[in-house]
Structure 1
Amino acid sequence: MGSQSARVLSLKEQKGQEQKRPEPKLDIGLWLGGIAFTVVIAAIGYALSKVPGFDHVGPLACAIVIAVIYRQFFGYPEKIRAGIQFSAKRFLRFAIILYGLKLNIDIVLHQGLGLLARDIGVITFAILATIWLGKLLKAESSLVLLLGVGTGVCGAAAIAAVSPIIKAKDEDTAIGVGIIALVGTIFSITYTILRPFLPLSAIDYGIWSGISLHEIAHVALAGAPAGPDGLAIALLAKLGRVLLLIPLCFILMYWMKRKNAGEKEETKIEFPWFLIGFILMSLFGSYCLGKSIPVSKVVMDGISTATTFILTSAMVGLGLNVSLRDLRTKALRPLIAMLITSIVLSVVAFFIA
């Protein structure tokens, strides 16, 4: 009995020592190496996106593809994981905050209220239709929701903003961004081809592009053939959808809390503080920059480029989590659901433009 109790006591002491044992210290060199790794691949993706053919795909998708290919051939670089994860999480949130500068709230509220009503309908339809089709196809629910939000709101930026709220896996976020970039590019090129044959004025064509296409870049690409007026109204319609990302995120937070309320161990939903930064930057860009604080177009273009590059670096961190073995079975059904929704949305938007 004595030896048995001594053995139990020693086991307890060992457990206590394990609990007290400090966590391994962060190696700053490896941490910086991980960040540098994502930045280098982002730079390669950015350079690739300037090559004819790849310029329609965009830097985010190019960088994700490079990261995915690297993972399949060389595996995940575990030694520098801490830095890569920092890029994937922190860079992502910082990029969303800076993205707020692209949203001119003043213009949307004063000139785009009529478009805003259509934008609400588009977002509601895109999310609900994608979820419904995803259920019919028995697709991955988290990825389907991300694609629905990306289709309805503003592509990769919306997926990046919503992902932490719904506790989506990094792999799902990366796959969602890749699919949005691919489908959106195909649609925007198709719009430019169809433009000369459509019975739409430049303004109506711009509205159609702005309320139905996925990314701001896609809207800019498709809206350009309609001339300056058509492009301006297209971007205005798109900015209305970006503005609606804010209330949508809070709705999803409420939905997640209700969804988890019945669970024994309720999942704590972290408040997306980066959204506050997004709102503040939107207000700052709308009412301060160019008015009380004069800023040149060169500076604003530089900030926009930096925002895209930071977001691209974050996408590298997410892309490294993607396994191609799972991609074929996991992504096909959500892709079909999102593709059907995009086609129907495009047809419906054509008649309400």
Structure 2
Amino acid sequence: MKTIKSIIAGCYLRLPHNANKIIFLTGAGFCLFPVITAPIALIMGLVYAQILKHPFPVYNHKATNFLLKISVVGLGFGMNITTALHAGKTGFFLTIGSILLVLVVGYLSGKLLKTDSKTSFLISAGTAICGGSAIAALSPAINAKEKQISVALGIVFVLNSVALFAFPVIGHAFNLSQTQFGMWCAIAIHDTSSVVGAASRYGAQALEIATTVKLARALWIVPLTFLSVLLFKGNRSKIQMPYFIGLFILALLANTYISSVHFLAPYVVYLSKIGLTLTLFLIGSDLSFSVLKNVGFKPLVQGLILWIMISIVSLWVVICLV
């Protein structure tokens, strides 16, 4: 391992000034072409992160957050309100049951492993609702420290990366329908970007269902944030609302009822998918080995327990009921 690190370090020192910026921007540029799929973009980012230093570490999280939200809103122009309402209705009770199950098991496993309480809560909330978005919304409300936030985000993004590749393979192995796979993705994969990435590989209907159910699930950030303020005696003024979900609904309504939108809708959806591919590249580019090393054993075990549990339980439920 030391030999590999020394070789990488030697190569890095020999690179021309600002070469890492050029390579990073070139990789991001490749993501604008449709030949680069979501998994490939993620792999590109991960490879970059292990070899070179991120040239824009301060702006990466902000760019990822903004790009994800605007891309998800754009996907709304490719969906119909009737299908969305049906998917949301079907996934409502699954959402409530899975959130409660993850939060309870997360609390118990955190106590058993003696994980820091705020870190444990952020991991549980990220698994229960919508990954990095939930962690970002809850962190200021419970006055979480930078270390606690980075550990929770690191675990969520690592498991998201695995899910992006594993879920489509498992879905085909179990011969899941588009509806079943979309529902399973929305419940069992943490972050919206990986949900969309995995579902888009499975099919258009799976993507529509997964996006709708996942965003409906993300609304639970609001009551959970208020609850977390009470539990951790946090600051109510720091509560963040997921306003982009409202914009997604407006886009969905516009595509359903305004005929003039239909001409532009396919182009907006196309650009949104490219935006999500670029988002996964940015996420991967920030997951260096040092980030993974700082996660810690106990929080990682807790994250794995929760993710494997909800993946198996939700898969069983969608096979039996959906």
TM-score, reference length from structure 1 = 0.64
| 1:244 matched to 2:216 | yes
| 1:182 matched to 2:155 | no
Give the deviation of 1:211 after TM superposition: 1.1
Letter in 2 for 1:102: L
1:194 counterpart (174, 184, 191):
174
2:68 counterpart (80, 86, 95):
95
Give the deviation of 1:351 after TM superposition: 0.9
Higher deviation after alignment, 315-324 or 115-124 = 315-324
| 1:1-353 equivalence runs, <5 A | 36=21, 39-40=24-25, 43=28, 46=31, 57-60=39-42, 62-64=44-46, 66-67=48-49, 69-70=50-51, 83-103=56-76, 107-108=80-81, 110-134=82-106, 135-136=108-109, 138=113, 140-141=119-120, 142-149=122-129, 158-167=130-139, 169-195=149-175, 205-213=177-185, 214=189, 215-222=195-202, 224=203, 231-232=204-205, 234-261=206-233, 266-267=234-235, 270-272=238-240, 275-284=242-251, 286-287=253-254, 291-293=259-261, 294-295=263-264, 297-298=266-267, 300-310=269-279, 312-313=281-282, 316-317=285-286, 322-324=291-293, 326-353=295-322
Give the deviation of 1:267 after TM superposition: 3.6
CA contact (8 A) 1:174 1:319 kept: no
Name the CA distance, whole Å, in 2 between partners of 1:34 and 1:89: 23
The structure whose Rg is larger is 1
CA contact (8 A) 1:216 1:235 kept: yes
Q: Which runs of 5+ in 2 are unaligned?
A: 1-17, 140-147, 190-194
Q: Which runs of 5+ in 1 are unaligned?
A: 1-32, 150-157, 199-204, 225-230
CA contact (8 A) 1:105 1:286 kept: no
Give the deviation of 1:298 after TM superposition: 4.3
CA contact (8 A) 2:45 2:284 kept: yes
Letter in 2 for 1:92: N
Give the deviation of 1:175 after TM superposition: 2.6
Deviations 1:254-293 (A, max 9, x none): 22332343xxxx44553436x3244225413640697334
Alpha-carbon spacing, 1:277–1:219, altered in 2? closer, same or farther (3 Å): closer
Q: Is the partner of 1:272 in helix, strand or coil?
A: coil
Alpha-carbon spacing, 1:267–1:316, altered in 2? closer, same or farther (3 Å): farther
Matched residue, 1:152: none
Name the CA distance, whole Å, in 2 between partners of 1:34 and 1:272: 38
CA contact (8 A) 2:137 2:225 kept: yes
Alpha-carbon spacing, 1:105–1:307, altered in 2? closer, same or farther (3 Å): closer
Alpha-carbon spacing, 1:116–1:298, altered in 2? closer, same or farther (3 Å): closer
Alpha-carbon spacing, 1:207–1:101, altered in 2? closer, same or farther (3 Å): same
Q: Is the partner of 1:350 in helix, strand or coil?
A: helix
CA contact (8 A) 2:64 2:283 kept: yes
CA contact (8 A) 1:41 1:66 kept: no
Matched residue, 1:155: none
Alpha-carbon spacing, 1:189–1:44, altered in 2? closer, same or farther (3 Å): farther
Give the deviation of 1:114 after TM superposition: 3.8
Alpha-carbon spacing, 1:39–1:283, altered in 2? closer, same or farther (3 Å): farther
Name the CA distance, whole Å, in 1 between partners of 2:84 and 2:66: 27
Which of the pair has the greater relative contact order for Cα pairs under 8 Å at 6+ separation?
A: 2
User: Percent of aligned pairs with the same residue?
Assistant: 12
Letter in 1 for 2:277: T
Deviations 1:208-255 (A, max 9, x none): 112112312323334x4xxxxxx52x3343233133145222223322
